[in-house]
Amino acid sequence: MPSTENTFAIVDISGPFREPREQVFSYDYSIQRSTWATPHGVRVKVSIPDELEVFKHRLFGTVIGSPGQQLMMSNILSKAIAGWKIQVAEGERMLTERRDVMVPPFAGSLAHLFPKLEALFEADQSAIREEVRRRIGI
């Protein structure tokens, strides 16, 4: 457990951005620790086939709704996945140094982190379903 004096705060989040030549959405986080003079950047990539579609299928099965509703659902879920990935990255001490960081998809060489992402998904899935129902009516 990290000490409270070195915990980080999320200062800003922007995205999603569609990465060229990659099947990912990315989010840019600005994080700050009390021991740092300035915030630094973390780009979190959410793999569309390996993360977003997997969790979307687990939440909703066969996706229904208009293209606009499906886009909003993808935005809500991909932002949640990016937030969970920040938590996993912090737990894995990937964000402790004062430098810009990129958190890639939890596939391939980082597939061992996917179960931690799944655990956060399991804990939050009812809240995500409710947010989708409330915001877009699916």
The CA distances from residue 19 to 30, 44, 45, 94, in Å, are 19, 11, 9, 22
> pLDDT-derived band of residue 44, with 50, 70 and 90 as boundaries?
very high
- The pLDDT of residue 4 is 54
Q: Is the pLDDT of residue 3 over 60?
A: no
For 80-138, the pLDDT digits (tens) are 999 999 999 999 988 887 777 899 999 999 999 999 999 999 999 999 999 989 998 87
The percentage of residues in the chain with a pLDDT greater than 70, rounded to a whole number, is 95
d(CA 110, CA 12): 25
Average pLDDT over residues 39-59: 93
> pLDDT-derived band of residue 17, with 50, 70 and 90 as boundaries?
very high
Six-digit token string for 27: 């989010």
Contact 31, 11 (CB under 8 A): yes
- The pLDDT of residue 101 is 86
The larger pLDDT score, comparing residue 128 to residue 36, is at 128
- The pLDDT of residue 35 is 85
What single-letter DSSP state applies at residue 29? E
Average pLDDT for the chain:
89
For 59-68, the pLDDT digits (tens) are 888 867 888 8
- 83-119: buried (b, 16+ CB within 10 Å) or exposed (e) per residue? bbbbebbbeeebbeeeeebebbbbeeebeebbebbee
**Total domains, the chain:** 1
- The pLDDT of residue 2 is 46
Contact 120, 47 (CB under 8 A): no
- Determine the structural domain holding residue 50 and report its residue range: 4-136
